[in-house]
């Protein structure tokens, strides 16, 4: 198999994020989406699981009075979450709905039901579930986090920003609202405002990890990588088992050329949360870059299993399949990425490269090169500006010329000799070997 040309790779993401331009080296992107499956939270526990709490806060507070200490409810909840973490959304949804029918005050069950419904594409129902959780527990951090992300992903960031600002007027010290607002501003690229809100949250609670994560992302986007690294190290000192912090740290380590450490950070994030699609995607992107395509496929398949609508992971998975020479699988993933994000020019670029480089059985050679050219032209028509396109178009047109000349020679060759060699003449040289 000839050496692979460079594909566009969305690369290292703090979350499922916007596509970068097709480049040889991936660059970090803001955390604009969390596509991980529901976290296994006890329906009676505080919003931060005990494993992620600071050492001095290891003892869980008393459960809310509205939630009876029901062992069976906890068992049913944990079972539903476990099913969701395996990507069995239908079963998980039925289990959570049944639990909430008899225990409607379990706020974390409502939050996880919202996450499951998001995975199934039921966005309006997901929003209602998150808001139900917030009716029961107005300061539930996870519900605000997921609700803000949902609004951002669906193009309604200004609406959730306005809602959060209105609520903060009455409750200026509500740290969960402040952190959600900081994230929403980060998503919109309002870095100064996002930084200011994260710092205000940290004035209320200097150990608030989610605010630290937002602040670190702002610093990273401002190219203040050492400062971002320091903030994330502080966050890990507070909550060493927070997978999102390990994932974010891996991104920063890459920008600092600490690749071995970044690999370990991504691995650790996945170990802590096997359903963490962003960490799986980042690990897979790093494996793609090292040409360990078989391992990359495993990571990226796990990412899209946890988040079928994760366009970035599908693009990277297509690259991994392409690296293994699996044309049909690579094409399918690129096409899925385009369905999820029609403006994703990277997918058009990679489809063009796929048709240019691989030679699947049964596909006419002229059709293959012509399709490659068509994708490059569409890529440019939609604003793609990769400087390598001119050379790739030349390669495709040369391929067409070679194939046309080969076919013309076959037409002129005597009948019966076009596909055989004369006796004792050795192997017939192909045009590409001349």
Is residue 222 domain-resident? no
Q: What is the domain count for the chain?
A: 2
Residue 207: predicted pLDDT: 96
Residue 416: predicted pLDDT: 57
Collect all residues with Cβ–Cβ distance below 8 Å to 192 and sequence separation of at least 6: none
Is residue 298 domain-resident? no
Nearest to 325 by CA among 357, 290, 298: 357
- Residue 359 belongs to what H/E stretch? none
Nearest to 212 by CA among 237, 187, 190: 237
Looking at 118, 137, 156, which one is the last position of a domain?
A: 137
Looking at 108, 137, 166, which one is the last position of a domain?
A: 137
Is residue 170 domain-resident? no
Is residue 129 domain-resident? yes
Residue 70: predicted pLDDT: 73
Q: Which domain holds residue 402?
A: 343-409
Q: Residues in the chain, how many? A: 434
DSSP-based three-state secondary structure for 222: coil
- How far apart (Å, rounded) are the C-alpha atoms in residues 373 and 317? 23
| Ranges under pLDDT 70 in the chain | 1-69, 415-434
Q: Domain holding 78: CATH number?
A: 1.25.40.10
Is residue 127 domain-resident? yes
Looking at 112, 137, 162, which one is the last position of a domain?
A: 137
Residue 59: predicted pLDDT: 25
Give one DSSP letter per residue of 22-66, joined into a string.
--SS---B------PPPP---TTS-SS-GGGS-GGG-SPPPPPTT
Residue 16: predicted pLDDT: 31
- How far apart (Å, rounded) are the C-alpha atoms in residues 11 and 345? 15
Residue 43: predicted pLDDT: 28
pTM for this prediction: 0.74
């Amino acid at each position: 198999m000839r050496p692979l040309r460079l594909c566009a790779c969305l690369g290292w993401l703090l979350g499922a994020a916007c596509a970068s331009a097709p480049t040889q080296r991936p660059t970090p992107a803001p955390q604009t989406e969390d596509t991980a499956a529901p976290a296994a939270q006890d329906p009676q526990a505080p919003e931060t699981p005990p494993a992620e709490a600071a050492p001095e806060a290891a003892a869980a507070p008393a459960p809310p009075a509205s939630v009876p200490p029901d062992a069976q409810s906890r068992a049913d909840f944990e079972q539903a979450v476990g099913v969701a973490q395996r990507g069995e959304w239908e079963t998980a949804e039925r289990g959570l709905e049944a639990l909430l029918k008899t225990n409607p005050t379990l706020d974390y069950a409502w939050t996880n039901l919202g996450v499951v419904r998001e995975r199934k594409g039921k966005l309006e129902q997901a929003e209602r579930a998150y808001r139900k959780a917030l009716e029961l527990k107005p300061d539930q951090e996870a519900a605000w986090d997921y609700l803000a992300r949902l609004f951002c992903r669906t193009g309604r960031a200004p609406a959730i920003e306005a809602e959060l600002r209105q609520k903060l007027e009455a409750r200026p010290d509500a740290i969960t609202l402040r952190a959600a607002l900081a994230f929403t501003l980060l998503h919109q690229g309002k870095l100064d405002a996002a930084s200011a809100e994260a710092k205000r949250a940290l004035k209320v609670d200097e150990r608030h990890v989610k605010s630290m994560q937002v602040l670190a992302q702002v610093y990273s986007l401002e190219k203040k990588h050492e400062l971002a690294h320091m903030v994330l190290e502080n966050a890990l000192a507070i909550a060493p088992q927070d997978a999102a912090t390990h994932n974010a740290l891996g991104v920063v380590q890459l920008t600092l050329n600490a690749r071995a450490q970044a690999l370990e950070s991504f691995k650790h994030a996945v170990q802590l949360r096997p359903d963490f699609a962003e960490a799986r995607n980042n690990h897979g992107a790093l494996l793609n870059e090292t040409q360990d395509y078989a391992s990359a496929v495993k990571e990226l398949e796990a990412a899209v299993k946890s988040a079928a609508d994760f366009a970035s992971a599908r693009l990277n998975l297509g690259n991994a399949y392409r690296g293994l020479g699996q044309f049909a699988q690579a094409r399918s993933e690129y096409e899925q990425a385009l369905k999820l994000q029609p403006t994703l020019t990277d997918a058009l670029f990679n489809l063009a490269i796929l048709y240019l480089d691989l030679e699947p059985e049964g596909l006419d050679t002229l059709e293959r090169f012509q399709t490659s050219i068509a994708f490059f032209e569409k890529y440019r028509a939609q604003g793609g500006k990769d400087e390598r396109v001119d050379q790739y178009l030349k390669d495709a047109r040369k391929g067409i010329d070679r194939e046309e000349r080969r076919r013309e020679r076959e037409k002129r060759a005597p009948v019966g000799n076009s596909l055989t060699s004369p006796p004792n003449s050795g192997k017939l040289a192909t045009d590409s070997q001349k």
